[in-house]
């Protein structure tokens, strides 16, 4: 047997003896790696007299190809064995009864989103949605945030790395960009709400990097602040199930509305329990205002002809207030015990006929 054939069968024996993937990889390196045995042979070619190089080179290549295909064949066998072993060890007996404590439920945020949608649907609002990954135009520019304005940074925006064209996408910081998408895609009048996830780089007892908002938008030829007040007071009355609703509108600033306000609702806290109605506290609920003419213009709508109002509110906070959840971060900790305590039955879907909560 030639020296090469002997090396080949030696390596092939090692390959068949390799009992798992790391062992096989060690054989591969010792044969074909930079300092491996076959690679070593190839390096000696240069020292041979020119007339011998061709034949010797071909003989070494035969060894290399044989080793390579033996490695590949063994790899498939070992991978299949590894998979079979994993499948066997991770096998789950589906006929076993479920662990009794792991009881699921509808998350309070989703329950409250459904309540909000049911209330506004009854008032003739439709539901619009948009993407979580947005661009600067929809999240800021079209909403009348001045270019390079600190407000863009104030939102604690999560930016993606720029793509090959230098365009920097972001995770939407609010549901307001769906106002823009809806107004560009359709013709006025509009009467819609936008439930959705939003993202800001912020985390403490009352902030989580992901949370939920519902945006509202009404555009027609005559909509005014009085309508806004009625719509929102009617919503609060239905949502907190009380006829006793007093609101106050505090002047505020948002780039996309003029005038802008924050709306508070009168309430009381008795033994830590919230009661909407009479009382000496105010609950800050949402931001709102008349849609800025620049926003309408950015969507191709003539502000001389159309006008309207908008608002945005945090859903998770409303869920905490209504159902007594103390810490926002627990809402998204994915703890089954928390969910079985605060969650809702899947059969308790809110609708106007059977009640909201
Ligand atoms: N987008 C605002 C935020 O996330 C909330 C908001 C305020 C939305 C006023 C509106 C509005 O549509 O009119 O802070």
Name, in order, each residue with C-beta under 8 angstroms of 153's C-beta and a sequence gap of 6 or more. Answer: none
Ligand 1 pocket mutation, candidates 145, 192, 287, criterion most atoms within 8 A of CB: 287
Strand partners, 313: 214, 286
In this structure, the residue with its CA closest to atom 3 of ligand 1 is 174
- The confidence score (pLDDT) of residue 244 equals 92
Tens digits of residue pLDDT in 91-101: 988 898 876 66
User: Ligand 1: does its nearest atom lie under 6 Å from the Cβ of 140?
Assistant: no
Cα pseudo-dihedral 25, 30, 31, 37, rounded to 10 = 180
User: Ligand 1: does its nearest atom lie under 6 Å from the Cβ of 138?
Assistant: no
Rounded to 5 degrees, φ, ψ at 285 are -110, -40
* Sign of the CA dihedral with 249 first, then 250, 252, and 258 last: positive
In this structure, the residue with its CA closest to atom 12 of ligand 1 is 311
**Span from the CA of 289 to the centroid of ligand 1 (angstroms):** 8
Where residue 129 falls among pLDDT bands split at 50, 70, 90?
Answer: very high
- Rounded distance between C-alpha atoms, residue 34 and residue 121, angstroms: 69
- The confidence score (pLDDT) of residue 123 equals 96
- 254 burial type by CB count under 10 A (0-12 exposed, 13-18 middle, 19+ buried): buried
User: Ligand 1: does its nearest atom lie under 6 Å from the Cβ of 114?
Assistant: no
- The mean per-residue pLDDT over the stretch 293-303 comes to 98
- Rounded distance between C-alpha atoms, residue 159 and residue 65, angstroms: 49
User: Ligand 1: does its nearest atom lie under 6 Å from the Cβ of 310?
Assistant: yes
Displacement of CA 186 from its chain's centroid (Å)? 26
Tens digits of residue pLDDT in 306-327: 999 999 999 999 999 899 888 8
**Span from the CA of 286 to the centroid of ligand 1 (angstroms):** 8
Q: What is the mean pLDDT of the chain?
A: 91
In the numeric block, which tokens belong to residue 341?
């305590």
User: Ligand 1: does its nearest atom lie under 6 Å from the Cβ of 262?
Assistant: no
Tens digits of residue pLDDT in 58-81: 889 999 999 999 999 999 999 999
In this structure, the residue with its CA closest to atom 7 of ligand 1 is 287
In this structure, the residue with its CA closest to atom 10 of ligand 1 is 311
- Rounded distance between C-alpha atoms, residue 263 and residue 233, angstroms: 10
Where residue 357 falls among pLDDT bands split at 50, 70, 90?
Answer: low
Query: pTM of the predicted model, to two decimals?
Result: 0.71
Q: What count of other Cβ atoms lies within 10 Å of the Cβ of residue 282?
A: 15
- The mean per-residue pLDDT over the stretch 177-199 comes to 98
User: Ligand 1: does its nearest atom lie under 6 Å from the Cβ of 211?
Assistant: no
């Amino acid at each position: 047997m030639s020296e090469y054939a002997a090396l080949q069968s030696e390596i092939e024996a090692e390959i068949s003896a390799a009992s798992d993937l790391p062992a096989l990889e060690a054989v591969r390196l010792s044969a074909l790696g930079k300092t491996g045995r076959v690679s070593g042979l190839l390096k000696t070619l240069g020292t041979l007299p020119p007339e011998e190089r061709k034949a010797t080179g071909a003989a070494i290549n035969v060894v290399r190809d044989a080793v390579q295909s033996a490695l590949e064949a063994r790899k498939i066998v070992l991978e299949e064995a590894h998979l079979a072993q994993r499948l066997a060890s991770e096998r789950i007996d589906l006929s076993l009864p479920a662990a009794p404590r792991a009881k699921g439920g509808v998350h309070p945020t989703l329950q409250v989103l459904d309540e909000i949608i049911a209330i506004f649907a009854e008032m003739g609002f439709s539901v619009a949605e948009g993407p979580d990954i947005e661009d600067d135009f929809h999240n800021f520019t079209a909403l009348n945030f001045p270019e390079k304005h600190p407000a863009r940074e104030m939102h604690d925006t999560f930016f993606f790395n720029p793509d090959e064209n230098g365009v920097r996408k972001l995770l939407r910081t609010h549901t307001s960009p769906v106002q823009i998408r809806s107004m560009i895609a359709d013709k006025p009048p509009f009467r819609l709400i936008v439930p959705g996830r939003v993202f800001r780089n912020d985390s403490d007892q009352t902030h989580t990097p992901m949370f939920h908002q519902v945006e509202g938008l009404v555009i027609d030829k005559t909509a005014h602040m009085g309508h806004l007040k009625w719509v929102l007071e009617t919503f609060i009355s239905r949502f907190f199930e009380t006829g006793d609703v007093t609101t106050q509108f505090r002047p505020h600033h948002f780039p996309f509305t003029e005038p802008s306000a924050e709306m508070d609702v009168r309430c009381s806290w008795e033994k830590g329990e919230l009661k909407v109605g009479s009382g000496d506290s105010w609950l800050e609920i949402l931001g709102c205002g008349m849609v800025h003419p620049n926003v309408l213009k950015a969507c191709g709508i003539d502000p001389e002809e159309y006008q309207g109002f908008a608002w945005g509110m945090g859903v998770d906070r409303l869920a905490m207030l209504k159902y007594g959840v103390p810490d926002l971060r627990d809402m998204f900790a994915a703890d089954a015990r928390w969910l079985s305590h605060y969650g809702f039955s899947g059969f308790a879907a809110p609708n106007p006929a059977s009640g909201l909560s």
